[in-house]
């Protein structure tokens, strides 16, 4: 087991972040929203510090719609994260599945399949796993669930 933490908003340089991880005694970091230009610096820091990137976060609650353009945009972000993960030899992409509030659970399952079969194939080809955060991301009144994969069975 490796001690690590997640850093989603980068208010520090990568150098400061890896230095902080060393001070904590962490062996891994999950980073979100990386871009291709980050790859050389991160490779150097991982080699220099021995700290690995355990996961790349590509968090979106829009993957299943109802805003189709936003969903397509965020699917491209996951594709980019897969490519970056392969380059950095990071084994997984962490994400939310999302939820289309205008659809039933069963309809969301069908949309989920349409969206993620393609992404799973891309990930598999790159040697990367897609993992889903199980937080329901509940907000509002009445309550709205933004991530429908928080529970393995509907109504449980």
Q: What mean pLDDT, rounded, does the chain reach?
A: 87
The domain limits of the chain are 4-150
Mean pLDDT of 26-47: 93
* pLDDT for position 40: 97
Q: DSSP 3-state assignment of 93?
A: strand
Q: How far is residue 118's CA from residue 21's CA, in Å, rounded to a whole number?
A: 35
Q: What is the pLDDT of residues 75-125, one digit of tens each?
A: 999 999 999 999 999 999 999 888 898 898 899 999 999 999 999 999 999
Architecture of the domain defined by 4-150 = Alpha-Beta Barrel (3.20)
Q: Output the pTM of the full model.
A: 0.86
**Confidence check: pLDDT of 54 > 60:** yes
**Confidence check: pLDDT of 9 > 60:** no
Percentage with pLDDT > 90 across the chain: 49
Cβ neighbours of residue 134 closer than 8 Å, sequence gap 6 or more = 147, 149, 150, 151
HSE-CB of 57 using CA atoms within 13 angstroms = 16
* pLDDT for position 152: 60
């Amino acid at each position: 087991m490796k001690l690590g933490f997640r850093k989603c908003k980068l208010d520090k340089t990568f150098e400061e972040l890896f230095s902080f991880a060393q001070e904590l005694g962490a062996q891994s970091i999950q980073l979100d929203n990386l871009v291709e230009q980050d790859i050389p610096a991160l490779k150097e820091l991982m080699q220099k510090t021995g700290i690995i990137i355990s996961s790349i976060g590509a968090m979106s609650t829009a993957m299943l719609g109802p805003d189709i353009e936003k969903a397509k945009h965020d699917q491209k972000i996951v594709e980019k994260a897969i490519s970056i993960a392969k380059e950095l030899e990071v084994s997984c992409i962490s994400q939310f599945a999302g939820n289309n509030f205008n659809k039933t659970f069963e309809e969301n399952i069908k949309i989920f399949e349409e969206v993620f079969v393609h992404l799973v194939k891309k990930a598999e080809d790159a040697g990367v796993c897609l993992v889903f955060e199980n937080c329901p991301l509940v907000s509002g009144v009445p309550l709205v669930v933004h991530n429908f994969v928080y529970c393995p069975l509907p109504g449980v």
